[in-house]
């Protein structure tokens, strides 16, 4: 009998930044494989729409208001999940922000800290809370930190984002070493460019279209091209021996000189 490597029935996945973009897609994918999904972000009305849609299509979803940059919000979120659902098996640590391209010498303290507080400190906070809950419950968990190709090479005019994502990749490696003894895998998914709220203004502009023409593929990624890489890392049946890895999904962009 064929093994269904990606099936997640009986698992619970918490997806941060699920109110739009990649996170919304990840939540739909995990629900379609049978996982109960907890969709988390700050915009509750967006989460409510997503929950209604997933539930209407035969999945099981719950909304959770969450600000990853606020330690009390993260603590409350995990307490709520524990009380209402019991705990999580999978964390998709996806919430993130970016500032407009800015020269290093012109970057404000505010922009520096905003990106680091969300993309790195928020990811660390969520990962630590998830790992503690998984260890306490003896869960064979999977934590997926959403990095970026800018965690692996250096984008121009985005020192704050480059530093945060490079640190997320290193955080992934550090966590994987320490948590493998607890049967928890930690990997990072590093996308190239995908059209989302984060970049829609730029990629709708002439400059953005010109930039895309310089990619090896001459196109952005499609969200469905992240589906199998996500499931590979999420599912213990599929990715049980993958730990501490960073998987790029970027059409080769990270190796190009652009
Ligand atoms: N799009 C790309 O090309 C690309 C490439 C590589 C990596 N990434 C990474 O992918 C992740 C998702 O980005 P995206 O492209 O999907 O952008 P997006 O559509 O702007 O989504 C970002 C998500 O993060 C949430 N978020 C932001 N700050 C938050 C906070 N303090 N607490 C909780 N949630 C927060 C937002 O929800 P609320 O505003 O409702 O809180 C939103 O759901 C990010 O980590 C990004 O760096 C994106």
Sign of CA dihedral 49, 55, 59, 61: positive
Please count the residues of the chain: 258
94 CA to middle of ligand 1, Å? Answer: 6
Question: What is the reported pTM?
Answer: 0.98
33 lies in a domain?
A: yes
196 lies in a domain?
A: yes
4 lies in a domain?
A: no
Distance CA 129, CA 143 (A): 11
Q: How many CB atoms lie within 10 A of CB 209?
A: 11
pLDDT digits (tens, 9 = 90+) for 113-146: 999 999 999 999 999 999 999 999 999 999 999 9
The angle, 0 to 180 degrees and rounded to 10, between the axes of the packed helices 227-234 and 21-32 is: 60
Question: Where are the strands (E) in the chain, listed by range?
Answer: 12-16, 36-41, 60-65, 90-93, 142-146, 185-191, 246-249
What pLDDT score does 1 carry?
A: 84
What pLDDT score does 216 carry?
A: 96
5 lies in a domain?
A: no
CA angle 90, 255, 234 (to 5 degrees): 10
Burial (CB count <10 Å: 0-12, 13-18, 19+), residue 172: buried
Q: Do 219 and 123 meet the contact criterion of CB atoms below 8 Å apart?
A: no
Q: Do 119 and 168 meet the contact criterion of CB atoms below 8 Å apart?
A: yes
Distance CA 224, CA 222 (A): 5
The residue to which tokens 């419950």 are assigned: 137
30 lies in a domain?
A: yes
Distance CA 243, CA 202 (A): 35
What pLDDT score does 257 carry?
A: 73
What pLDDT score does 247 carry?
A: 98
Which domain covers residue 63, as residue numbers?
Answer: 12-251
Distance CA 229, CA 190 (A): 10
2 lies in a domain?
A: no
Distance CA 154, CA 131 (A): 30
204 lies in a domain?
A: yes
Positions in the chain whose pLDDT score sits under 70: 258
172 CA to middle of ligand 1, Å? Answer: 18
Looking at ligand 1, which residue's alpha carbon is closest to its atom 25?
17
Ligand 1 shell residues, CB under 6 Å: 16-17, 19-23, 41-43, 46, 66-69, 94-97, 118-119, 122, 146, 148, 191, 193-194, 196-199
CATH number at residue 170: 3.40.50.720
Number of domains in the chain: 1
What pLDDT score does 10 carry?
A: 98
1 lies in a domain?
A: no
């Amino acid at each position: 009998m064929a093994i269904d490597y990606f099936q997640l029935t009986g698992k619970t996945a918490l997806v941060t930044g699920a109110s739009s973009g990649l996170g919304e897609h990840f939540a739909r994918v995990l629900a379609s494989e049978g996982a109960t999904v907890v969709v988390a972000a700050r915009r509750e009305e967006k989460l409510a729409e997503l929950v209604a849609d997933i539930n209407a299509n035969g999945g099981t979803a719950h909304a959770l208001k969450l600000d990853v940059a606020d330690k009390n919000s993260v603590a409350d979120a995990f307490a709520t999940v524990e009380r209402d659902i019991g705990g999580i098996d999978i964390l998709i640590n996806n919430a993130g922000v970016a500032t407009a391209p800015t020269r290093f010498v012109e970057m404000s303290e505010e922009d520096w800290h905003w990106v680091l507080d969300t993309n790195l400190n928020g990811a660390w906070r969520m990962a630590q809370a998830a790992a503690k809950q998984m260890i306490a419950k003896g869960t064979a968990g999977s934590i997926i930190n959403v990095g970026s190709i800018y965690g692996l090479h250096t984008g121009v005019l985005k020192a704050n984002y480059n530093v945060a994502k490079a640190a997320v990749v290193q955080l992934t490696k550090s966590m994987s070493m320490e948590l493998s003894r607890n049967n928890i895998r930690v990997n990072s998914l590093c996308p190239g460019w995908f059209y989302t709220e984060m970049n829609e203004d730029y990629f709708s502009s002439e400059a953005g279209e010109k930039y895309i023409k310089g990619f090896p593929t001459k196109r952005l990624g499609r969200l469905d091209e992240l589906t199998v890489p996500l499931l590979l890392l999420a599912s213990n049946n599929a990715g049980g021996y993958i730990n501490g890895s960073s998987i790029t999904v970027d059409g080769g962009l990270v190796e190009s000189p652009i």
